[in-house]
């Protein structure tokens, strides 16, 4: 292919965790199949939010799941420990073929963090990295608070999972776990740090813009029914996409 790499960004609204994970797996398998056959497929980013759910990564410790209560617990294949997803948190899943970008997982994680650092700066927040602690943090060094968590999985250099940025979730859910296995630092949100409301659609647009800029990718963005129709054509799995589309769809303003 000549010219820049391309991607499709799907704004999917609120989707239950298990169907969203199944969608990631289907897209990953489609990419691996295309790679084997020499077919070019655009990279994919899914932007969505979940109903309340705790996910436990491959290096997770059940002792860090303190009191899940009524929230579902899902054991998954990403790296990392336990984390929370729920309304008010923007989740970005990256289905990228690193064979076409670069084979460097450390660089990939730093690039994901860079997307969030640039997004926070756009909204008046200064984020930073903490050595040996994946994530994006705000506040004063030594008492920093995590605002975005990351966890990925890679199969044949195709990535799944991604990041979860706290815009305005119910932070009480994080008291039910030891987030990412880190007990000595707090969890925060953009709204808490800014002291004012923050538009989710605007944050999603910023994440999309900086995704393109950081990775040097040219993206097409789809939302609502158009996003689900496009996914159906990509995967040829009408039943799966119809199940996803039954979830409430968040309209994304362009």
Catalytic residues: 180
**143 torsion bin: left (phi>0), alpha (psi -120 to 50), beta (else):** alpha
Torsion angle of C-alpha atoms 160, 163, 169, 175, degrees rounded to 10: 90
Distance CA 62, CA 65 (A): 5
- The helix, strand and coil proportions of the chain, stated in percent and rounded to the nearest 5, come to 35, 30, 30
Gap between the Cα atoms of 117 and 148, Å rounded: 10
Task: Give me the helices (H) in the chain, please.
Answer: 17-37, 105-122, 190-194, 200-215, 224-235, 238-245
Residue found under tokens 């305005």: 168
């Amino acid at each position: 292919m000549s010219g820049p790499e391309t991607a499709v960004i799907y704004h999917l609204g609120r989707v239950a965790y298990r169907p969203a994970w199944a969608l990631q797996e289907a897209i990953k398998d489609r990419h691996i199949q295309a790679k084997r056959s020499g077919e070019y497929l655009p990279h994919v980013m899914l932007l969505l939010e979940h109903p309340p759910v705790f996910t436990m990564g491959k290096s997770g410790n059940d002792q860090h799941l303190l009191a899940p209560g009524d929230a579902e617990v899902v054991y998954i294949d990403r790296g990392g420990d336990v984390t929370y997803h729920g309304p008010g948190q923007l989740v970005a899943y990256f289905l990228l073929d690193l064979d076409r970008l670069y084979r460097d997982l450390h660089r990939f994680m730093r690039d994901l963090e860079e997307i969030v650092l640039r997004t926070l700066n756009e909204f008046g927040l200064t984020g930073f990295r903490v050595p040996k602690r994946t994530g994006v943090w705000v506040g004063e060094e030594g008492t920093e608070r995590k605002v975005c968590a990351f966890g990925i999985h890679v199969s044949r250099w195709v990535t799944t999972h991604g990041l979860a940025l706290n815009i305005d979730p119910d932070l009480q859910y994080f008291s039910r776990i030891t987030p990412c296995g880190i007990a000595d630092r707090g969890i925060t949100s953009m709204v808490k740090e800014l002291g004012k409301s923050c538009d989710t659609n605007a944050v999603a647009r910023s994440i999309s813009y900086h995704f393109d800029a950081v990775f040097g990718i040219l993206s097409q963005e789809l939302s609502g029914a158009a996003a689900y129709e496009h996914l159906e054509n990509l995967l040829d799995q009408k039943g799966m996409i119809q199940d996803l589309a039954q979830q409430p769809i968040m309209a994304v303003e362009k």
